[in-house]
Structure 1
Amino acid sequence: MSFGSDNCRTLVLTSPSYKEGKSTTTVNLAISMVQDEKKVLIIDANVRKPTIHHMFKIKNEIGLTNVLSGQATLEETINQSEFAGLDVLTSGPIPLNTEALFYSELIEQFHEKEKDEYDLVLIDAPPVLEEKDTKIIAKQSDGVILVFRNGKTVDLLALEAKNMLELSNANLLGVILNAKNRWKII
């Protein structure tokens, strides 16, 4: 199964806890995919602690929460990045009840529109052990990638995150280990 194939077009990137590099990993993966001439959409689904808009230096006044609550369309909320073929959907205003938002009927229509427009949709989700939203989002995607940070991610929490995703019937595709020290050859 390859990214952007018909089987795997919507991927969630998550981690056990905050500060493990999932947003940076999401952006780097997206950039590498557009260099391979794929049309990619990044969605910041971390609606309580969004960061993607900072990374692209765009405003976060309207975004995912507006689309899922029916206040705006996908077309009205998409931001073009400086990379050709890479669009960004910021999180939007922080809602009162995020779980209800991700369980809404609009989410299925939203996913269908995404798949029509993009080869690959990368969803930067909250840490799976910190927020319930991630289990909901992960179950609705084609696959999930766990991001671990070398020297930070505790083995027990990594295992707990994996188990939680499996219990929620998410399709766990694999793990990315970042911040790995490089070996010096003397």
Structure 2
Amino acid sequence: MAGEIRQKMIERTGVLLAMKGLQGTSFTEVLEASGAPRGSLYHHFPGGKEELVMAAVAWVSARSLERIEQLRGRPAPEVADAFIAMWRDILKASDFGAGCAVVAVTVGADTPNLLESAAQVFRQWRGALGELLALGGIPAARAPALAAMLISACEGAVVLARAERTMEPFDLVATEQRALVKAATTRKPRAG
């Protein structure tokens, strides 16, 4: 039961970060959503909000990496399409109300630990996506840059779409990203 409450707190924090940012994520909402008693925050997270946010960032990262890993062995353009679709799904499902929890932590980080936690996630995403793009037909020397570009472009497109409350800027960026990945693909996918 205690493990379930802790996990619910982590998951709810991840969702709130994506919707409200770091400063907008309150302990009260986390506790209400998880059904945890008032004093349980420091019981489950002795390091307070920082520890909870770092756990939520790790949870968000693990979920994203699972989705990225499912693309292993697919051609690079399909990898890009699926990565783009992941962000599109978040925007649609939340009616432009949610973005990336890791970006929220990056922008709002008030401690080096939180910033490093976000940086680690972005490094993991770049590494995983770069590996899959290389396996999918992108030259190995170019794959890391394309992975960084794809992540950066999608994150920026999510921000624009949320601000404008329309998919138009997201779709414009997505179209260009797809074209770049397709043009950079020089061979058939190889087993990974």
Could you state the TM-score of these two structures normalised by the residue count of structure 2?
A: 0.26
Q: Which protein has the bigger helix share? A: 2
Q: Which protein has the bigger strand share? A: 1
Task: Mark the structure with the bigger radius of gyration.
Answer: 2
- The structure whose RCO (Cα within 8 Å, separation 6+) is larger is 1
